[in-house]
Amino acid sequence: MNIRIQSLLTISLLLFPLNLLAGMPGTTTRGLISAHELHSLLEDSDKNSPLVIEVGWGGPEELYDKGHIPGSIHVNTDEIEFDMFNARSSVEPKELGRSTTLEQDLAKGLTAEDTLPRNWWNIYPDKYLFPALADMGVDVNSSVILYAKDPTAAARLAWTMLYAGVSDIRIVNGGLQAWEEAGFEVSQTPVARTPVENFGTAKPLHPEYLVDIPFVRNAIVSNSSDVIIADIRTKLEYDGHAAPYSYIPTKGRIKNAHWGKAGDGPWTMESYVNADGTFKDLTEIERMWAENGITRDKHVAFYCGTAWRSSLAFYFAHMMGWERISNFDSSWYEWSMGPEAASNPIE
């Protein structure tokens, strides 16, 4: 997993609570919040403060403990997804297949003796995912603001929460760097979570935001003119000249996929994110997609290596108000290497 870190105005806008939008001059992009807007929101005692989360792979010691937005909690992305889930009681920590703590596993109802079938870095099944969100202090009515050093990590959690049913989500445009450049202080004091009793639903409120292998395979086999498979990888990956990561050695692309034009390197995403970590203009992204046949009149399913980069693309489409969008969570990893790989069309 650490290799992976080295080697995302429709009616739903109206669902955003007015208390989060009020008093925020200059807010023009759905789903984003500036450092100045967040600071004003946190300083305003007359408003209910949102839950602020720093997102990253691994524990808090890597980045969070060295300085974070005051009041924010830390969330490890392995709390929402996994590849292998080996029994904690029978293997060395490096062989767990995840970087979560025992407490984070227990929040899902998984003990040190439990194992789960291989999951190919998909998100957890709902029965485990929703308790994990509740342990973070999140339910369907929460107002959540996310930030991360890697914008794809924030988008990964944002997409997961949108799928589950949290409608009020924003990402800090520019992350902690923008916060510090605005002159605001950071804290090194850890913030304890305040778990909620339950997430508020046992089924995802937006299951359409996630598509699986049968859906993608059917779209290809039926030669559907209504579904676009958007490949959010580098041109080298898309053309079959490079593999995504060391643990995904397969080359090629999903048959008939349109290139979503990520950056030239495996994690640069410069087509979507500026050098300072801020998001590029939505009209620029929509124009770029249109040049490659990715348009809002189709059902667009985004994918990449393991659905992090595609989570960011999904989040852009969500901010644009595109109504028929999905993230193909299995992405190239399970599509090209999973148990049904021989049945999955590749070119």
pLDDT of res. 154: 98
Q: What distances in angstroms separate CA 336 from CA 228, 341, 345, one per listed residue?
A: 19, 5, 9
Contacts of 215 (CB under 8 A, 6+ apart): 301, 326, 328
Dist. CA 255–CA 345, nearest whole Å: 6
pTM of the model: 0.91
pLDDT of res. 267: 54
User: Is residue 14 exposed (0-12), middle (13-18) or buried (19+ Cβ within 10 Å)?
Assistant: exposed
Give the pLDDT mean for 212-239. Answer: 96
Cα end-to-end distance, the chain, whole Å: 26
pLDDT at residue 263 is higher than 50: yes
Is the separation of the CB atoms in 269 and 262 below 8 Å? Answer: yes
pLDDT, one tens digit per residue, over 96-147 is 999 999 999 999 999 999 999 999 999 999 999 999 999 999 999 999 999 9
Instruction: Report residue 227: phi and psi, to 5°.
Output: -120, 130
Dist. CA 235–CA 313, nearest whole Å: 16
pLDDT at residue 1 is higher than 50: no
Burial 157-196 (b: 16+ CB within 10 A, else e): bbbbbbbbbbbbbbbbbbbbebbeeeebeeeeeebebeeb
pLDDT, one tens digit per residue, over 53-68 is 999 999 999 999 999 9
Task: State the catalytic residues.
Answer: 304
Contacts of 222 (CB under 8 A, 6+ apart): none
Average pLDDT of the chain to the nearest whole number: 90
